[in-house]
């Protein structure tokens, strides 16, 4: 659980919207709140269903577009490298992921040595490395019982 971090809260959301001149609408509040509560890195379709429970009239397109807008202003991360459809993460602090190859769940974890992982020399020479994100893959605790 990483709910305590400062960069994932309604205050942070309001602050960032103001900063980017993005109107704080009831729809946007609900979409962000639902993603904040979702610890499973949902895709737009999954999140749409959760938002629809609260705002029945909302369309998939609105939820999808809103998520992309959120990612543009930096309050939501698109989880890269997991194929389609895109998965979204309200946790924008650097952290690492474990992905289950069976049920496709993505679980957050922190591990200091991965934050400081060595960057190969030629990469270091050519690029500026800002983030180090490690992806572990395998079977989650629920799925390993069935393996």
Please give the residue ranges that form the binding site for Zn ion (CB under 5 A): 89, 91, 100, 102-103, 108, 140, 143
Q: Do residues 51 and 45 lie in contact, with contact meaning Cβ atoms separated by under 8 Å?
A: no
Comparison of 103 and 117: residue with beta carbon closer to Zn ion: 103
Least distance from Zn ion to the Cβ atom of residue 24, Å: 24
Identify whether the C-beta of residue 33 lies closer than 8 Å to the C-beta of residue 66.
Answer: no
Instruction: Report in angstroms how near the CB of residue 116 gets to Zn ion at its nearest.
Output: 19
**Tokens encoding 105:** 């769940």
Select 122 or 141, whichever has its Cβ closest to Zn ion. Answer: 141
Q: State the nearest-atom distance from the C-beta of 81 to Zn ion, in Å.
A: 12
120 within 8 A of 103, measured Cβ to Cβ: no
Shortest Cβ 59–Zn ion spacing (Å): 26
Distance CA 108, CA 82 (A): 14
Give 58 or 140: the residue with its C-beta nearer to Zn ion. Answer: 140
Q: Closer to Zn ion at the Cβ: 108 or 115?
A: 108
How many contiguous H segments (helices) and E segments (strands) does the chain have? 7, 5
């Amino acid at each position: 659980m990483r709910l305590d971090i400062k960069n994932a809260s309604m205050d942070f959301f309001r602050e960032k919207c103001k900063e980017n001149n993005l109107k704080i609408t009831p729809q946007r509040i609900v979409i962000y709140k639902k993603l904040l509560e979702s610890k499973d890195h949902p895709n737009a379709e999954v999140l749409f269903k959760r938002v629809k429970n609260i705002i029945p009239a909302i369309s998939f397109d609105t939820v999808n577009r809103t998520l992309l807008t959120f990612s543009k202003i930096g309050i939501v991360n698109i989880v890269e490298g997991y194929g389609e459809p895109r998965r979204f993460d309200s946790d924008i602090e650097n952290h690492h992921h474990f992905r289950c190859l069976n049920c496709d769940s993505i679980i957050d974890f922190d591990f200091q040595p991965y934050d400081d992982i060595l960057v190969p020399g030629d990469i270091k020479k050519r690029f500026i490395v800002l983030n180090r994100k490690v992806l572990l893959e395998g079977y989650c605790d629920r799925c390993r019982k069935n393996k």
